[in-house]
């Protein structure tokens, strides 16, 4: 496979600003001095959102778990969050490409790597 590589260059100050915006709200600015949003900015926001959603990040700290249960629970939760993000990625692609087949509202529950669509109403 000859997939195009994706370049990553995350400045620590930009990363901290993204986490702060997710925790407290506010505009998401570009990492580029000219203000243009680039693919990297979108990926950085996606990564920060995945982190915040999977760990509850700075916005909502998790209660402490015992050492044995913490790692396993976190792995399962992160897998569900990543799979939910992938599901949403495909839903947004369907919306953009005119292939939306979910009615007015799409609802689903993700457990691990299984996505269950649920009725809306």
Is the same domain home to 3 and 53? yes
Is the same domain home to 56 and 2? yes
CA proximity to 20, closest of 54, 64, 51: 51
pLDDT in tens, 2-37: 777 777 788 899 899 998 998 899 998 888 888 888
pLDDT score for 1:
64
Is the same domain home to 38 and 76? no
**Reduced 3-state DSSP string for the chain:** CCCCCCCCCCCHHHHHHHHHHHHHCCCCCCCCCCCCCCHHHHHHHHHHHHHHHHHCCCCCCCCCCCHHHHHHHHHHHHHHHHHHHHHHHHHHHHHHCCCCCCCCCCCEEEECCEEEECCCC
Is the same domain home to 48 and 93? no
- Which range of residues forms the domain containing residue 88? 71-121
Is the same domain home to 11 and 30? yes
pLDDT in tens, 58-109: 444 445 556 666 677 777 778 888 888 888 888 988 988 999 988 888 888 8
């Amino acid at each position: 496979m000859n997939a195009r590589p994706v370049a990553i260059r995350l400045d620590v100050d930009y990363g901290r600003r993204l986490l702060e915006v997710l925790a407290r709200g506010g505009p998401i600015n570009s990492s580029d001095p000219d203000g243009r949003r680039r693919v990297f900015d979108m990926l950085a926001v996606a990564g920060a959102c995945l982190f915040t959603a999977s760990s509850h990040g700075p916005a909502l700290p998790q209660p402490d778990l015992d050492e044995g249960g913490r790692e396993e629970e976190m792995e399962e939760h992160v897998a569900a969050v990543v799979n939910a993000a992938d599901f949403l990625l495909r839903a947004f692609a369907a919306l953009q490409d005119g292939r939306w087949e979910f009615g007015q509202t799409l609802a689903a529950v993700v457990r691990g790597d299984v996505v269950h669509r649920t009725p809306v109403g």
